[in-house]
Amino acid sequence: MADRSLGLVVPAYRPDVDRLTAYVRACRTALDPTALRIELDAPTAGTADTLRERLPDVVVSVARERRGKGAAITAGFEALADEVDVLAFADADGSTPPESLATVVTPVLDGRTDLAVGSRRHPDSEVVGHQTLARRRLGDGFAWLARRLLDADCYDYQCGAKAISADAWERVRPHLYEAGFAWDVELIAMAGALGLRVLEVPIEWEDQPGSTVDPVDTAISLGTALFVARHRAKRLQDSRLHDAIARRRADETALVDREEP
* Digit-coded pLDDT (tens) for 17-56: 999 999 999 999 999 999 999 999 999 999 999 999 999 9
Bridge partners of 88, per DSSP, are 8, 163
Is pTM beyond 0.85 here?
Answer: yes
The C-alpha atoms of residue 165 and residue 150 are separated, in whole angstroms, by 21
Q: What is the pLDDT of residue 175?
A: 93
Q: What is the pLDDT of residues 67-98, one digit of tens each?
A: 999 999 999 999 999 999 999 999 999 999 99
The C-alpha atoms of residue 136 and residue 152 are separated, in whole angstroms, by 21
Residue whose C-alpha is closest to residue 35's, from 94, 77, 90 = 77
Q: What is the pLDDT of residue 123?
A: 85
Alpha carbon of residue 234 to chain centroid: 22
Q: Mean per-residue pLDDT for 180-190?
A: 92
The C-alpha atoms of residue 138 and residue 60 are separated, in whole angstroms, by 34
Is a pLDDT exceeding 50 seen at residue 99? yes
Dihedral sign (CA 60, 97, 54, 87): negative
Is a pLDDT exceeding 90 seen at residue 246? no
Q: What is the pLDDT of residue 244?
A: 47
Q: What is the pLDDT of residue 31?
A: 97
Q: What is the pLDDT of residue 238?
A: 66
Q: What is the pLDDT of residue 249?
A: 58
Beta strands 161-165 and 115-119 are antiparallel
- How does the average pLDDT of the chain come out, rounded? 87
Cα distances from 27 to residues 33, 188, 196, 240, in angstroms, run 8, 24, 27, 45
Which secondary-structure segment (H or E) carries 47? helix 47-54
Q: What is the pLDDT of residue 145?
A: 79
